[in-house]
Structure 1
Amino acid sequence: MGCCKSVINCDNEVQPEEGKEENDLKGAEPFIRRGGRQKTVIRILTRQTIKCIVGHVSDHYDVKELIGEGAYGCVRRVVHKTTGGERAMKTIMKSFVRLCEVKNMLLEVDILRKLDHPNIIKITEVIQDQRCYHIVTELCSGGELFDKIVEQEKFKEKQAARYMYQILSAVSYCHTNNVLHRDLKPENLLLVDHKKDSTLKVIDFGISRLTNYPSSPARKYGQPYYTAPEVFNGIFTDKSDIWSCGVILYVMLCGYLPFLGNKESQTINQIINKEVEMPEKEWSKVSQSAKDLVLSLLDKDPYKRPQAMDALLHPWIQSNMHGMSSNSCLDSVKNLINFRSRVKVQHATFEFIVSHLSTQQELRELQYAFMLLDMNGDGKLSREEIIRGIEKTNINQLFDIEQVFEECDADGSDFIDYTEFLTAAMNWQTALTKKRLEAAFKTFDINGDECIDMNELKQMIGGTLDTEMYHEILKEADFNEDGVIDFEEFERICTAVIK
């Protein structure tokens, strides 16, 4: 089960050593860069590293107000004691969950650590104590999309289209990575903040399924209102997620569900047998293009529903995405072109700061820029998309696209992934403060001896490199050659490119 397997024992409740941390992840490994540059580069996958800690929450976080409750536990806002970063912590009582539900929780952790997309919630660590599991994620303070719908009753088409674009982009990315969500609904879509143009985040992958084949048994489904007809016959495919997107879009445009009976059995019967209706009173002012997309997503035949990628290219979605200014991403694109960070300690630190220490306000413009550049909505940037994006911003600067990828594509995927973009496009002259460097250093310095040794470097970089490669990485920052990296050396290497 990836990173948490060795820490959380599902079959026998064994309490490992207090305060123990384990990272059972494949993070760094060598690869050959495309484009004729026969140079071996080392992958950096710090964003996939999730700490699994056995200990007390209070040793790591100040626990703040309650922000949500469920059948098995609650969600609270927490503040990290070392970094000061705000997070959401989902606490699940062990006594309330069965073995199968624990496995679902661990599956959610394993799925989320691998997904890197602006509209999918990021998980940072898991803490286990004698009574509870605590899953720590990024904080979304804007509430559920469900509450937004209740508040506004229905959305204007432009707003609905931009929300649907984000949902479909996340779903497309999941499907590309062989993940089916299986419980898409407005309650599982969180707004990052209360601003009008807030970003959406997909949450709750607890009943998701990893699949490498076209259909999978639907042993469990979420609320029936958003469930596709075929699921009640035991089949769930990627097209079943598409149906759920169709129901969400229907609700956003008119304010009520397309299928709703007095009893659950009546609702299920309507979903299977009743055609989609669009009453004149609520739908007369909705454009025909919007109606066409809704009907295509809610086709009873899953084979006739579009793929998420195709739905993103629907004229209604595209026309409502037009008009988003490319000038706002000018600085981000300039930073991307000029980014230089070939020292692995520095790059890993930058990724850590982006993932764990940056505020939503800092990331807002970068997220917006990423969405503008990601023209096909697949959650990653190709060479062609970056070139076209640079052309749109009218930047009068020569650049080598292969060099951009050499500097920014840290995991060797041949795309610029979301966190890689944030890392490269961040304005490090203002973002790289001494306070953040100190917080990052303390996090990497696991044993608290005020230096980063070889074992801590391996945790920091992650992966399965041979010993010689780790020594080379350490040597890049170990200026006094004493075999460890102290804070002065750490600060020097991290600030080298921005001075």
Structure 2
Amino acid sequence: MGHCCSKNVSVVNTDVTTSARDRSAGTRESLPSPSGNSESGDARSGKPTPAHSFSASPFQSPLPAGVAPSPARTPGRKFRWPLPPPSPAKPIMAAILRRRGPSKPVDGPTPIPEEGGDGERERRLDKSFGYAKNFGAKYELGKEVGRGHFGHTCWAKGKKGELKGQAVAVKIVSKAKMTTAIAIEDVRREVKILKALSGHNNLVKFHDAFEDTNNVYVVMELCQGGELLDRILSRGGRYTEEDAKKIIVQILNVMAFCHLQGVVHRDLKPENFLFVTRDEDSPMKVIDFGLSDFIRPDQRLNDIVGSAYYVAPEVLHRSYNVEADLWSIGVITYILLCGSRPFWARTESGIFRSVLRADPNFDDSPWPAVSPEAKDFVKRLLNKDHRKRMTAAQALTHPWLRDENRAVPLDILIYKLVKSYVRATPFRRAALKALSKAIREDELVYLKAQFKLLEPRNGCVSISNFRAALTRNSTDAMRESRVPEILNVMEPLSYKQMDFEEFCAAAINPYQLEALEGWEDIANTAFEYFEQEGNRVISVEELARELNLGSQALSLLKDWIRNSDGKLSFLGYTKFLHGVTLRNTRH
């Protein structure tokens, strides 16, 4: 949910799934899928734009020169899946159509309506939200500043109360456009998320929500500095590293906050970040929580939503968590640094295929002139294995962004990893302790920051420290997403304390370490420590039990144990750190 007085720019905004109402930036139109025409047109004047104007930019219009998009509606799109999809195409199409509702596409067939027909479904839907009904008494509406398929955004001024005389943005969502239960729930959940999260410096402020017979009115902070997308285009599609850092730090800070609260955004892109003012150093706000959702730390979502150019591979595989937002931030960073998209094609299906299979180009200009730290930063976000991706808090301690004077936010990943550690077997804890002794100083910066945030007493932390840290950062969203429930399974910490050395063993992630260029050296050093202090004779059957595997895995695990002494080999140690699934054992 968002707004602003930013101008319309003719760009490809290829949504994998649009929210079941107007996209919250409110000022931008979703264009049809790329159709092979790379010329751009000016959406405001309808005049053709010289082809070279966006040659260095990824934002090319699919429309013929001189043809502007409709300002009033978002055309539907028919999906075609040329790749053998991780899940069948028909269920994916059905899920997309259910979310979009029965609106007619501009250039494709009408989606098959749900059972009962539009009229009967309309009668069944409860469009009462329980919001106040006195909007007109409290606000005076002004000019429209943006329009989408399901509503529009207007400038408004408070007539009484705390906001008397203050300019605000009002999102007006048409109830007539809420043609599915999903559409209604999207609106309800977005308002709930905005209300629960409001207060962070880089998140658009929510004021109130109202409704009447025809509309829902969402009153928010008015940002008048335009979209991040507009500023990228005004610079010719490229930022200096120092300027890019200022942008990315703000994005990471607000996403670390959202993720700690158990909220995944699911539609991060330059259009969804607004500047408060036109000033060059204006702070930036994230908007549009229309596709966002509450999520528990160990939960996996499976609905395909977002925007095609920014969608993470695991979203297309229909199993994802907050790491999907970090992929999108990686795409944004790539664009800021070089002015082009890391994954591009003329069709949505081509984009998806590129996201799943292609590697970003770091060889062509300007990448040779970009610092190694910046390239490493982007690569660690654009890792197709979501387990190897940095979290938002980790990214803020990466050498490219590191600043000792900037506070590091608490990371929910720490809770997930410590939970697993305290419930692990002694053998696995010994393997992790050996690994923690081999990590580099760069990785210790993040761990030291997280340990400090737990406010240790006498150099140690217990479950009370973890609980207090969550309480200090708690919002209504955290309770809604049930993040505090993770403390219930950390109960073994109630009876012990953890010093920094053991905290490091508990809070390191072998998958993330494997993504480092120096992983082989780290693993070799760790195995030396393991040989000294943790390795022991272990049978194949016991090893299977350690990994929660059945008898079908025994033949695979034999290769992990040395014939000479019955202990884990180097291969066995590294595999043991990662664990194995039944799917792995079938190969």
Q: What interval of TM-score do these two structures reach, taking the shorter chain for normalisation? A: 0.5 to 0.7
2:206 matched residue in structure 1: 123
Unaligned runs of 5+ in 1: 1-8, 16-21, 23-51, 323-371, 388-411, 418-499
2:349 matched residue in structure 1: 265
> What does the per-residue CA deviation read over 1:63-95, in whole Å, with 9 as the maximum and x for residues that have no partner?
122222211111111110112121111111111
2:218 and 2:451 map into 1 onto residues whose CA distance is 36
1:187 to 271, 275, 290: 271
1:101 to 183, 194, 217: 183
Q: After TM superposition, give the deviation of residue 247 of structure 1 in Å.
A: 0.3
> What does the per-residue CA deviation read over 1:242-266, in whole Å, with 9 as the maximum and x for residues that have no partner?
1001001001111111101011101
Q: Does 1:314 align with 2:395?
A: no
1:375 to 407, 423, 433: 407
1:224 matched residue in structure 2: 308
Q: Does the CA contact (< 8 Å) of 2:295 and 2:321 recur in 1?
A: no
1:383 and 1:240 map into 2 onto residues whose CA distance is 25
Report the 3-state secondary structure (helix = DSSP H, G, I; strand = E; otherwise coil) of the residue aligned with 1:281. Answer: coil
Q: Does the CA contact (< 8 Å) of 1:382 and 1:416 recur in 2?
A: no
1:146 matched residue in structure 2: 229
Q: Does the CA contact (< 8 Å) of 2:169 and 2:219 recur in 1?
A: yes
1:92 and 1:256 map into 2 onto residues whose CA distance is 34
> What does the per-residue CA deviation read over 1:408-448, in whole Å, with 9 as the maximum and x for residues that have no partner?
xxxx944699xxxxxxxxxxxxxxxxxxxxxxxxxxxxxxx
Q: Does 1:214 align with 2:289?
A: no
1:173 matched residue in structure 2: 257
1:85 matched residue in structure 2: 166
2:137 matched residue in structure 1: 59
Q: Does the CA contact (< 8 Å) of 1:120 and 1:203 recur in 2?
A: yes
2:22 matched residue in structure 1: none
Report the 3-state secondary structure (helix = DSSP H, G, I; strand = E; otherwise coil) of the residue aligned with 1:317. Answer: coil
Q: Does the CA contact (< 8 Å) of 1:10 and 1:103 recur in 2?
A: no
1:70 and 1:178 map into 2 onto residues whose CA distance is 28
1:72 and 1:245 map into 2 onto residues whose CA distance is 27
TM-score by length of 2: 0.47
2:150 and 2:138 map into 1 onto residues whose CA distance is 23
Q: Does 1:69 align with 2:153?
A: no
1:286–1:73 distance in 2 versus 1, CA, 3 Å? same
Report the 3-state secondary structure (helix = DSSP H, G, I; strand = E; otherwise coil) of the residue aligned with 1:126. Answer: strand
Q: Does 1:12 align with 2:126?
A: yes
1:359 matched residue in structure 2: none
Q: Which amino acid aligns with 2:357?
A: N
Report the 3-state secondary structure (helix = DSSP H, G, I; strand = E; otherwise coil) of the residue aligned with 1:118. Answer: coil
2:390 and 2:228 map into 1 onto residues whose CA distance is 24
Report the 3-state secondary structure (helix = DSSP H, G, I; strand = E; otherwise coil) of the residue aligned with 2:400. Answer: helix
Q: After TM superposition, give the deviation of residue 124 of structure 1 in Å.
A: 0.9
1:448 matched residue in structure 2: none
Q: Does the CA contact (< 8 Å) of 1:382 and 1:414 recur in 2?
A: no
Q: Which amino acid aligns with 2:375?
A: K
**Which stretch of structure 1 is more off in the superposition, 280-289 or 181-190?**
280-289
Q: Does the CA contact (< 8 Å) of 1:182 and 1:222 recur in 2?
A: yes
Large movers: runs of 4+ above 4 Å: 381-385
Indicate the structure whose relative CO is greater, using CA pairs within 8 Å and at least 6 residues apart: 1
Q: After TM superposition, give the deviation of residue 12 of structure 1 in Å.
A: 2.9
Q: After TM superposition, give the deviation of residue 194 of structure 1 in Å.
A: 0.8
Q: Does the CA contact (< 8 Å) of 1:169 and 1:378 recur in 2?
A: no
1:287 matched residue in structure 2: 371
Q: Which amino acid aligns with 1:123?
A: F
2:242 matched residue in structure 1: 158
2:257 and 2:128 map into 1 onto residues whose CA distance is 37
2:355 and 2:344 map into 1 onto residues whose CA distance is 9
1:174 and 1:102 map into 2 onto residues whose CA distance is 23
2:410 and 2:167 map into 1 onto residues whose CA distance is 28
1:382–1:282 distance in 2 versus 1, CA, 3 Å? closer
Report the 3-state secondary structure (helix = DSSP H, G, I; strand = E; otherwise coil) of the residue aligned with 2:401. Answer: helix
**Amino-acid identity (%):** 32
Q: Does the CA contact (< 8 Å) of 1:249 and 1:294 recur in 2?
A: yes
Q: Does the CA contact (< 8 Å) of 2:410 and 2:450 recur in 1?
A: no
Q: After TM superposition, give the deviation of residue 235 of structure 1 in Å.
A: 1.1
Q: After TM superposition, give the deviation of residue 13 of structure 1 in Å.
A: 4.3
1:259–1:13 distance in 2 versus 1, CA, 3 Å? closer
Q: Does the CA contact (< 8 Å) of 2:127 and 2:175 recur in 1?
A: no
1:288 and 1:187 map into 2 onto residues whose CA distance is 28
Q: Does the CA contact (< 8 Å) of 1:65 and 1:76 recur in 2?
A: yes
1:274 and 1:382 map into 2 onto residues whose CA distance is 34
2:304 and 2:220 map into 1 onto residues whose CA distance is 25
1:89 and 1:79 map into 2 onto residues whose CA distance is 9
2:341 and 2:451 map into 1 onto residues whose CA distance is 41
Q: After TM superposition, give the deviation of residue 128 of structure 1 in Å.
A: 0.5
Q: Say which structure is richer in strand.
A: 1
Q: After TM superposition, give the deviation of residue 192 of structure 1 in Å.
A: 1.0
2:305 and 2:204 map into 1 onto residues whose CA distance is 21
Q: After TM superposition, give the deviation of residue 214 of structure 1 in Å.
A: 2.4
Report the 3-state secondary structure (helix = DSSP H, G, I; strand = E; otherwise coil) of the residue aligned with 2:366. Answer: helix
2:364 and 2:305 map into 1 onto residues whose CA distance is 32
Q: Which amino acid aligns with 1:12?
A: D
Q: After TM superposition, give the deviation of residue 383 of structure 1 in Å.
A: 13
Q: After TM superposition, give the deviation of residue 54 of structure 1 in Å.
A: 1.1
Q: Does the CA contact (< 8 Å) of 1:191 and 1:198 recur in 2?
A: yes
Q: Does the CA contact (< 8 Å) of 1:207 and 1:220 recur in 2?
A: no
Unaligned runs of 5+ in 2: 1-122, 412-448, 456-469, 476-587
1:403 matched residue in structure 2: none
2:479 matched residue in structure 1: none
1:195 and 1:130 map into 2 onto residues whose CA distance is 40
1:13–1:277 distance in 2 versus 1, CA, 3 Å? closer
2:357 and 2:473 map into 1 onto residues whose CA distance is 43
1:10–1:109 distance in 2 versus 1, CA, 3 Å? farther
2:332 matched residue in structure 1: 248
> RMSD between aligned alpha carbons?
2.9
> What does the per-residue CA deviation read over 1:144-170, in whole Å, with 9 as the maximum and x for residues that have no partner?
111111111211111111110111111
Q: After TM superposition, give the deviation of residue 280 of structure 1 in Å.
A: 2.6
1:309-458 correspondence runs (5 A): 309-318=393-402, 375-378=407-410, 413-414=471-472
2:192 to 97, 101, 110: 110
